[in-house]
Structure 1
Amino acid sequence: MSRPIATIVGSQGFIGAALLRNLTAAGWDCRAPSRDMRWPVREQELGHVFYCAGLTGDYLQRAADTVEAHVSLLVRVLESTTWESLVYLSSTRLYDGLGAELIAQENTLLPVSPQVPRHLFDLTKLTGESLCHVLGKGRARVARLASVYNSPDDANGFLPSVLHQVAQAPVGASVVTDSSPHASRDYIHLPDVLRALVDIAVRGTHTVYNVATGENLRNDELGQLVRRLAGRELVFRSQQPVAAPAVIDIDRLERDFSWRPARVTSVIAPWLTDMAHTQ
């Protein structure tokens, strides 16, 4: 029996590299094309394509690279003729302008404006999503990811970087962050993300899936956990009020794949408890 084939575009990144390791260990035949790969590909079998290429924090400083990663390269990959499915990694940050009174569903209309600089990210991601719908011919799907974290040892993103600082600080010390205590996010654990991406690729029936926990964690709640379990004080430089984000609806993943993601507090509580016994 032949092994399933996966092609991971952006395999050098945080999620792409983890997906490559995970699928290889599971027995998949994995291809990790280099940055100078010539697309479109019309001869080599690509199998299930996971499109993990993208920019996050530096997208405004690298606007041209953002368009290339989120849109232009995607077009060339979609124009390849030898892929079975494609999963395009998008973001639940697209829902940031909705407000806490709304539930963010996959078909919710999204507020974007070309005059708002930070919406460059939203507009390019939405263009990529639209290309999947138009050029994908029913084989391309979109995974809108919440804030993905792995562990304090893999400090990608706000939450793991804060936990890494807490782990490095002595018990009783203060850890200072530039964020506001009022800010909040839906945090999704990397192993859950990897499982969801494979399910979407192999068994997905919808064109867009929210990959999240459906719960937001406020920074001040995180601070209370750090104080109670790790014995450190989390100090927020900014006291600026921050509008609460919408709650992300995950009913589609629950129905299609019996989705039961780990709650962020359940995942990080043992880490914080261990930190209380280290100096």
Structure 2
Amino acid sequence: MTPFTVLGASGYIGSRLVAHLQGQGHTVLAPARDNAGLFSQPLGHVLYCVGLTADFRSRPFDTVEAHVGLLAEVLRRAQFDSLLYLSSTRVYMGAASTDEEAPLSVVPGDPSYLYNLSKLAGESLCHASGRSGVRVARLSNVVGPGMDAQAGNLVADLVHQAQQGAMLLRSHPESAKDYIHIDDVVHWLPRIALGGRSVTYNVASGRQTTHGQWLQWLSEHYASSFEVQEGAPLQRFAPISVARLQAEFGVMARPVWGDGRWRWPVQTQTAGRYP
């Protein structure tokens, strides 16, 4: 059995990691952030999942504390064999490339960039810490059963609407992002933590999924109608490079839906419409 510590175990990714690792027979600690024992006992392999998502704009100080402040204390004081810091592919906003070594751009005056800046500060701290076994995983948009509709996630919001019988998409249906299923994430992250040869990894599918595809699929599963808000903006995000992940670990993301991965009954489709 391999000892792991999951920080941020109450969150969507962290809680699924705990369940997955325990199911594999590993010993898992899931201490609270203010647990005094965090710095007085060996932590084994640390998976740092602490972070804010949708509410980072209204909680700037909490965002920095989660992404940088606590991380600094763990890197400085904790006893661990390795540490994997969960960052985000959002850091590629405005970049010319999405490979892990690409130069990145930031706009400090834009409140939306606080998330990116704090994640990059956390990444930089990992690189500068001088601790061995410290790595970074830049996660794409993670989806799967049990998402919180209040988390600001497009798919979680659409799922919630579909459960009510009608969906309204407020972005153009050809808008597209890279989505990765939680099942792949919880399988890949421990492998990166234990055996990654590089320092930074994109954890993504390498495929673009359009918002229109989500509408169609969810309508089939929930017999939900749907429509698109007139004049909805088109949002384009660059495809995420997964060459490093595939070269080192030979993994390939499965489709974000299908094969019973969402454990929802398929129902008769109800037609939707685009304006």
Range of TM-score over shorter length: 0.7 to 0.9
> Which residue of the partner structure matches residue 20 of structure 1?
18
Q: Secondary structure of 1:83's partner? A: coil
Q: CA RMSD in A?
A: 2.5
Please point out which of 163, 179, 196 is paired with 2:188: 196
> Which residue of the partner structure matches residue 91 of structure 2?
94
**1:95-114 alignment to 2 at 5 Å?**
95-98=92-95, 102-114=96-108
Question: Structure 1 stretches of 5 or more lacking a match?
Answer: none
> Which residue of the partner structure matches residue 204 of structure 2?
212
Question: Structure 2 stretches of 5 or more lacking a match?
Answer: 271-275
Does 238-247 or 266-275 show the bigger shift?
266-275
Measure the CA separation in 1 of the matches of 2:261 and 2:122: 37
TM-score, structure 2 normalization:
0.88
Aligned length: 268
Structure 1 residue 138, shift from structure 2 partner: 3.4
Cα deviation digits, residues 195-248 of structure 1 (max 9, x gap): 111011111111100000001111123334445676533223263433411110
Asked if 1:162 is matched to 2:165, the reply is no
Structure 1 residue 180, shift from structure 2 partner: 3.4
**Runs of 4 or more consecutive aligned structure 1 residues displaced over 6 Å after TM superposition:** 268-273
Please point out which of 48, 73, 97 is paired with 2:45: 48
> Which residue of the partner structure matches residue 131 of structure 1?
125
> Which residue of the partner structure matches residue 72 of structure 2?
75
Amino acid at match of 1:181: P
Q: For the structure 1 residues 238 and 21, does the alpha-carbon distance in structure 2 shift closer, same or farther, using more than 3 Å as the test?
A: farther
TM-score, structure 1 normalization:
0.87
Q: For the structure 1 residues 190 and 226, does the alpha-carbon distance in structure 2 shift closer, same or farther, using more than 3 Å as the test?
A: closer
**1:141-180 alignment to 2 at 5 Å?**
141-151=135-145, 155=149, 157-169=153-165, 174-180=166-172
Q: Secondary structure of 2:236's partner? A: coil
Q: For the structure 1 residues 268 and 124, does the alpha-carbon distance in structure 2 shift closer, same or farther, using more than 3 Å as the test?
A: farther
> Which residue of the partner structure matches residue 84 of structure 1?
81
Does 269-278 or 4-13 show the bigger shift?
269-278
Q: For the structure 1 residues 152 and 9, does the alpha-carbon distance in structure 2 shift closer, same or farther, using more than 3 Å as the test?
A: closer
Measure the CA separation in 2 of the matches of 1:205 and 1:238: 48
Q: Secondary structure of 1:185's partner? A: strand
